[in-house]
Chains A and B, each alone.
Chain A
């Protein structure tokens, strides 16, 4: 697949713009594929991806190139020779934009770009005589001299039109050519490209995030909020309530527009409730978030990338931030854990609050035995449904159901991968210490929004009633 971008900027202003956030999501989604140069590209390999930009717009340097460098992705820039450093004044229906200057192209090359040719002035070949067409297809010798033989080997047809006369000449001057649509004539002289827009989705795997709740009404709102604030959103969020008796549903109901809600009529207990939840969802990747915990905003993105990167990885686990009234006690207890380190992240002497980072140093070979003895894979890790089904899912085992599940996966030969960031916020509290303040705040927030909505509706109905003509 060859991806085609034009402008990457803070906001998408027309269909030719992609926001930085969308671009990041799209680049992140390529973790399960191989990003290659056009020279290396094999069109028949579904895992090969080329990332190309036409223009070349100056904003690419600031908003796209750093991501490419960070991920070590090569990328192709199709230059329109006459527009280097100019504004897009000739593009009557687009907002103002500037093309990259020569020094900016230099910087882009340093960040991993290859330069290619997209004609001299983007003129429509059908309107040109032979001499003019030749001029359009000739790469400025100064550019060739400056950038060298690795560049300008490929051509992109302007205006998406591939005609025989142009194609014949292109074959004399270039190693290959790409089209501007995803149909294209195909073959080495007209490879199709997929135009990427703001909501183009490149992710192949789907993520199901499950929030099981039992009597954590005070906390579940925060958990759901953190699930909704992900940089890489889950494809489905399922909140499953195991017949809570504390009014949790009052909070959960307020999120029904944004998450799926399932309410068990009777309490099923952890194992049965979890098994039911997994069966109700369909994503290839699953993560459970305890109703009293929270996710950092990049939890899904980081875990998904780890699972995407290797089909034998069944589990993506992260470091943890410990918070809550019992955090100091837990931190002390963990001091002897062989595969981790605990450090203080935050302390407030006025309130006594302390937050700790619990960071893991797993052994090179993770065995089931290791996990059973000294678990470091938190229940909120993201895992592969295929592995879950292969080992028979959650079951009652005498010890923690999640530790048991992961141990069986590892036993069956699956790998576990580690994200070295505290992406899970793990609340340490006792049953009595339910700090209800934040839970109530969120509930009040939701009620207030509902009241405002109802008031508006009443006003509307009253206006309608008053306006009805008298009989």
Chain B
């Protein structure tokens, strides 16, 4: 997979270099007023071979006239291998792509914009190619199985220990204390902490055996380091797993299931019923489920009997802490 703006050298080819910009993985181009000229950004040279899938998001601001977005693939010797374009209008993002096949070699990929013939002189036509990327078919196939909504950002965060400053922030000490005191006091054999991060809450949970899981491998690695330094380290186990795929990694049921800060759309999409079913499948009959989340981001839909509910301020948000039994 080649993210064209990160993995290839970028060379803006326009009369006025201020009219184009790079923004992370995206390319901004300003469509010229003169309909004959393209505003163009050349990327490469890059090695390509076989079936190539070019994919990009296309974006225009509101009030922009229609713009023709295009991509041209040229060989090293300036021979145009293929050219594709698409007329896009309206303030929205859409996906676009083109597939092509080339013999092994080095190629240049031009991304360009042109005013659509009927719309001269529209100065608002800042057009954006969003994350232009070239895939091979096998890479695309692997992507079809990739889940990990939100995973890469979280992974990057855990390059640093305690990326959100839980150990230093009194609000987090408070939320941990509230959660612990909401757990009914009884003896728990098996406890499961979903979204454990580096163990901020996990190490304080009751249970003869406590299992923490998180979809960030790096967070789990940090948790395991902390576990090694504890006298009671044997009580704990950490695994790297996606909340929705937990059943492929864990068997059996738990007396206490804790889930914190995980059930948000950027992690689990908008499919609450899958989450509800998965988490409840880990509860033994009349076991306890404790869920703590930012109130506005979570629709609170567990098909279980709610025995406790409280709301409190957490940083700039309101937390909803609930205890269920089923």
Contact = CB atoms under 8 A, between A and B. Distances in A.
Contacts of B244: 10
B183 to A, nearest CB: 10
A308 interface: no
B104 interface: no
A392 B308 CA distance: 39
A222 B305 contact: no
B99 interface: yes
Given A9-B269, A93-B97, A231-B301, A438 B309 contact: yes
B271 A21 contact: yes
A87 B140 CA distance: 7
Given A87-B137, A231-B301, A355-B325, A19 B269 contact: yes
Given A11-B270, A89-B53, A448 B313 contact: yes
A98 interface: yes
A194 to B, nearest CB: 22
Given A10-B149, A93-B96, A438-B311, A422 B272 contact: no
Chain A interface mostly: mixed
Interface in A327-361: 345-350, 353, 355, 357
Interface in A217-264: 222, 225, 229-231
A121 interface: no
Which residue, B97, B299, B305, B310, has most C-beta atoms of chain A within 10 A? B305
B313 A321 contact: no
Contacts of B300: 225, 229, 297
B141 A89 contact: yes
B79 interface: no
Contacts of A421: 303
A93 B95 contact: yes
A376 B309 CA distance: 27
Contacts of B99: 89-90, 92
Given A22-B270, A24-B273, A347-B184, 19 more contacts: A9-B271, A10-B147, A19-B270, A21-B273, A58-B144, A94-B95, A96-B141, A98-B145, A225-B300, A231-B301, A298-B303, A346-B286, A346-B307, A348-B185, A350-B184, A355-B307, A357-B305, A444-B313, A452-B316
Interface of A: 9-12, 14, 19-22, 24, 58, 63, 86-90, 92-98, 222, 225, 229-231, 294, 296-298, 321, 323, 345-350, 353, 355, 357, 421-422, 425, 437-438, 441-442, 444-445, 448-449, 452
6 pairs of A and B residues whose beta carbons are closest in the complex: A10-B269, A11-B269, A92-B97, A20-B271, A98-B144, A87-B141
Interface of B: 51, 53, 55, 94-99, 135, 137, 140-141, 143-147, 149, 184-186, 244, 265, 268-274, 286, 295, 299-313, 316, 318, 325
